[in-house]
């Protein structure tokens, strides 16, 4: 019963967060105005065009994964790796953060990549992505500080409230109790029969993390990483040209909004719903877009791009079944890499 409740909360809690934020922002919104903009003012072809860079971004993410798996001696099919990314993003629409698990499960099922090693390489990639986002956000904060100060003021966050977080004894008590609880849990785990199994999984996880150090195509890895994030940005920026009230926003303004979105979607909701809308609406109003127009933009663009994610996910799932239909769901025993040519053949 506890497991069922825990799994249910993974679905319900993100939906509640997203629903609460969306209700707060749209409870008094005139949806007829959004319908009018959708039917009479919007150039839908820019929305369609925005799906091209994000699709290429997902393809490059799948190719980049092959490079990190190469040093471990595994050579998944290129199509399986790419399609697993499509399926992962669609899975995150249903249950946030479950996509990483589904990606690893695909290669474990069809390409004989141990789950722990696949997850380790995936975490290594995520760490690189987090570093890219951190550097990008820091650059935007330093160059556009006045804009972010205005955004923080809107949310009620100021220097005093942040300072109190680090000076309050309550913060350090919570940290101390958390560390002690983790220590006790660890000591208890060592006495169970599961310890050896967990240890083996952790070893595979660490091997995956260390694969970045020994991969052969570091330059290609960097190029793919740049391409992935350029694709993410272009997916968002191209939608500005769909509407007359956002077509005048500059690339720099688009980058600033994109940086704020990158921070907001850390909150796990289906495809970022709620936090994504809040940041886009708040930032666009700072740049002179009316509240109604900004709300319409967020509603239409997010809905369309979520539909795009689901369609790509459906395509990826069907492609995986078709490509591996003769295996009866069994693992495909691919030979290990030879000559360091995985992912570039």
Q: Is 332 left (phi over 0), alpha (psi -120 to 50) or beta?
A: beta
Greatest mean pLDDT among 168-172, 212-216, 229-233 lies in 229-233
Q: Which two tokens stand for residue 19?
A: 């629903």
More confident call, 267 vs 229: 229
Torsion angle of C-alpha atoms 328, 86, 272, 129, degrees rounded to 10: 110
Nearest to 337 by CA among 50, 54, 66, 37: 66
- Average confidence (pLDDT) over 78-104: 90
Q: What are phi and psi of 74, to 5 degrees?
A: -120, 140
Structure pTM? Answer: 0.77
In the structure, what pLDDT confidence band is assigned to residue 77 with cuts at 50, 70 and 90? very high
Is pLDDT above 50 for 329?
no
pLDDT one-digit tens code per residue, 172-224:
666 665 666 666 665 665 555 545 555 555 665 565 556 666 677 888 999 99
**CA-based radius of gyration for the chain:** 22
Per-residue pLDDT of 129-166, as tens digits, reads: 888 888 888 888 787 777 666 666 655 545 455 455 45
Q: Model confidence at 122, in pLDDT bands (50, 70, 90)?
A: confident
State phi, psi for 318 to the nearest 5 degrees. Answer: -65, -45
């Amino acid at each position: 019963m506890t497991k069922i409740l825990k799994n249910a909360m993974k679905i319900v809690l993100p939906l509640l967060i997203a629903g609460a934020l969306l209700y707060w922002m749209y409870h008094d919104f005139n949806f007829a105005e959004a319908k009018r903009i959708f039917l009479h003012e919007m150039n839908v072809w820019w929305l369609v065009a925005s799906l091209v860079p994000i699709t290429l971004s997902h393809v490059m993410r799948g190719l980049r994964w092959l490079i990190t798996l190469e040093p471990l001696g595994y050579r998944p099919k290129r199509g399986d790796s790419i399609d697993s990314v499509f399926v992962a993003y669609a899975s995150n629409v249903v249950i946030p953060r479950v996509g990483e698990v589904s990606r690893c499960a695909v290669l474990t099922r069809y390409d004989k990549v141990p789950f722990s090693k696949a997850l380790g390489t995936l975490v290594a990639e995520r760490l690189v992505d987090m570093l890219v986002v951190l550097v990008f956000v820091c650059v935007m904060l330093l160059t556009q500080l006045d804009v972010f100060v205005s955004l923080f003021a809107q949310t009620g966050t100021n220097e005093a409230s942040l300072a109190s977080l680090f000076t309050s004894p309550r913060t350090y008590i919570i940290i101390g109790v958390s560390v002690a609880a983790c220590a006790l849990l660890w000591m208890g785990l060592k006495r169970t029969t599961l310890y050896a199994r967990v240890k083996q999984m952790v070893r595979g996880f660490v091997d995956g993390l260390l694969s970045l150090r020994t991969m052969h195509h570091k330059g290609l890895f960097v190029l793919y990483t740049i391409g992935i994030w350029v694709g993410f940005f272009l997916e968002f920026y191209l939608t500005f040209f769909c509407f007359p009230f956002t077509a005048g926003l500059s690339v720099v303004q688009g980058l600033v909004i994109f940086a704020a979105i990158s921070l907001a979607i850390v909150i796990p909701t289906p495809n970022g719903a709620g936090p994504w809308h809040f940041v886009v609406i708040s930032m666009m109003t700072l740049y002179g877009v009316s509240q109604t127009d900004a709300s319409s933009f967020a509603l239409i663009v997010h809905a369309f791009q979520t539909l795009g994610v689901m369609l790509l996910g459906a395509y990826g799932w069907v492609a995986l079944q078709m490509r591996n239909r003769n295996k009866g769901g069994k693992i495909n025993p691919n030979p290990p890499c030879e000559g360091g040519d995985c992912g570039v053949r």
